[in-house]
Amino acid sequence: MDNLQKTISISAPGKLLLFGEHAVVYGYPCIVSSVSDRLTVTIYESEKSGVEIQTPGVSDQRFIHAAIQEFEKRFSLKIDHCMLSTSSEFSSSFGFGSSSAVTVATMKALSLFTRKNLSQKELIDACHASVLSVQGVGSGFDVASSLYGGTILYEFGGKRIELLLMNLPGYSFVVGYTGEKADTVSIVKEVAEKREKYTEKVDRIFQAIGDIVLQAKTALEDGDATRLGILLNYNQEYLRDLGVSSEKLEILISVSKKAGALGAKLSGAGRGDCMIALVSNEKKSAVEDAIEKSGGTVMRVFLGVDGAKIASTDNQEELFIVVDKNDEVIGYRSRADCHSDKTLIHRSLDVVIFNDNGEILLQKRSMTKDTRPGYWGVSVGGHVSKGETYEDAAKREMKEELGVVLPVTTAEKFLFEYPHETEIDVVFTANSNGPFTPNTDEIDEVKFFSKNELSRKLLDPTFKLTELSYECLKRIKFL
Ligand code: MEV
């Protein structure tokens, strides 16, 4: 093979099904979130012929071999003279879909290593085919989640993939592991047999679950936690009817609800593995205690993290300013800490640059950013580092990202919560028609958008705007 890159490292997250398991195998939608446990695949060029595989933390190499074979078959080439290694943050007791994460990370790494640079759709198709070649069944929701990240509405084979904005400040999902290992493939086959025998009944259950998923999408986007809780409970009733719950799951679900969860259900194929409960911040520790007291293990993960991406180029040691809700400084913590702990509120800024036609400049974040790679965002965005004011940081970021320093006007200031981080954001506006010299380490593309053009673009599910940019543009009344 010509044209090889020497090393490429891709990390991919695990996943957690929120709504719609089993029905998704039969063409109904599901809602799935990525989780903060990640698995990294690195491919190095090597002198030796063949592919040497070193996989500490991945007990089952079948998914790696299958991904390589599928890639070779689809693109009629032989992967040779390289070494592939993995490193995993997944817990050994419960993996949150390590087989899909390793499949996605391997496929994307191969795509970049060979400079094939496959599209997301090509990657989904190749990953789904690869997983099917190993286990014979599966809707592909897990590889889609690992590839796209965030929270998505998904239909079999990637027929529909819609990024959902999870708008639930003050609420989160608690995840409880039953300690019982469930075999997804045999449960899916068992459900298929049941459907053969009782087609009408089982199809009615799937139809009802499909309806619940669509209602849950609306509730999620409207931030209606109460409704979402009720829908979790409904979904669980149908899964119980389908015969895929278990005594232990039922116990953990019931104690969670008694301890104040708004709703709870099993997550995944059932018969064991995990349950999820939607809780308010006030009830979270009571629900966690109830799960632990009943013999479950609380899995501490964040939902809605980035999908598969090149291992970051951002400096994880950079010190951010940590503040309280009133923006009073309380200390300094690293970027890595601030990006994984919601209680560490840190200062950030955005600059929205207008041109003389009233259009705004958006930037497409590079695939190597540690948060929201490949998303579109406002003209300039960043964090306030130790020793800087918001305005100093705005000027530094403008220089670093676009090669310009413009006078800025403060437009807005607000607290913004992601599922796994919290920021106080100041939005500045500025005026310029360019030219700009975007920093290619951070930005893939910049472009001016009119109001109409952007509203149209937002209807296209492949156009992804960061949640924070969306909020900024709403606040300055551009959206
Ligand atoms: C298993 O985690 C979820 C199922 O819906 C199977 C699948 O969609 O591949 C039961």
Name the H helices within 199-283.
199-222, 225-242, 247-258
- Domains of the chain listed by start with CATH number: 7-164 (3.30.230.10), 171-299 (3.30.70.890), 312-475 (3.90.79.10)
Q: Which residue type sits at 34? A: S
Distance between CA atoms of 227 and 51, rounded to whole angstroms? 51
Q: Contact, 332 vs 321, CB < 8 A? A: yes
Furthest-apart CA atoms within the chain: distance in Å = 71
- Residue range 96-124: average pLDDT? 92
Distance between CA atoms of 96 and 177, rounded to whole angstroms? 10
Q: What is the pLDDT of residues 271-314, one digit of tens each?
A: 999 999 999 999 999 999 999 999 999 999 889 988 998 875 56
The closest-lying atom of ligand 1 relative to the alpha carbon of residue 25 is 8
Choice among 142, 273, 350, 425 that is catalytic: 142
Per-residue pLDDT at 4:
45
Q: Is the CB of 139 under 6 A from ligand 1?
A: yes
Q: Contact, 365 vs 373, CB < 8 A? A: yes
Q: Which residues pair with 161 in a beta bridge?
A: 154
Q: Is the CB of 239 under 6 A from ligand 1?
A: no
Distance in Å, CA 274 to ligand 1 centroid: 13
Distance between CA atoms of 172 and 186, rounded to whole angstroms? 31
Per-residue pLDDT at 6:
63
Helix, strand, or coil (residue 248): helix
- Residue range 405-422: average pLDDT? 91
pTM of the model: 0.72
349 CA to centre of own chain: 23
- Residue range 385-399: average pLDDT? 94
Name the H helices within 275-334.
284-293
224 carries an active-site annotation:
no
How much is the mean pLDDT over the chain? 92
Q: Residue 6, Cβ neighbours under 10 Å: how many?
A: 10
Name the H helices within 243-317.
247-258, 284-293
Confidence of residue 2 (pLDDT cuts 50, 70, 90): very low
- Residue range 21-33: average pLDDT? 98
Distance in Å, CA 139 to ligand 1 centroid: 6
Tokens coding 163: 């990024």
Per-residue pLDDT at 1:
44
